[in-house]
Amino acid sequence: MHVWKQRKRRARQRYRVYAFIVSYAREHNGTPPRLVEIARHFSVALNTARQHVFELVNMRLLRYENSQIIVEDAEWTPPPQADEISEGSDF
Q: How far apart are CA 57 and CA 44, in angstroms?
A: 19
In the chain, the N- to C-terminal Cα span, in Å, equals 19
Amino acid at the residue 79: P
Bridge partners (DSSP) listed for residue 70: 63
Q: How far apart are CA 20 and CA 32, in angstroms?
A: 9
Sequential pLDDT tens for the chain (91 residues): 577 788 888 888 889 999 999 999 888 888 889 999 999 999 999 999 999 999 999 988 898 888 888 887 655 455 555 555 555 555 5
**Contact (CB, 8 A) for 66 and 35:** no
Q: How far apart are CA 47 and CA 53, in angstroms?
A: 10
What pLDDT does residue 82 have? 56
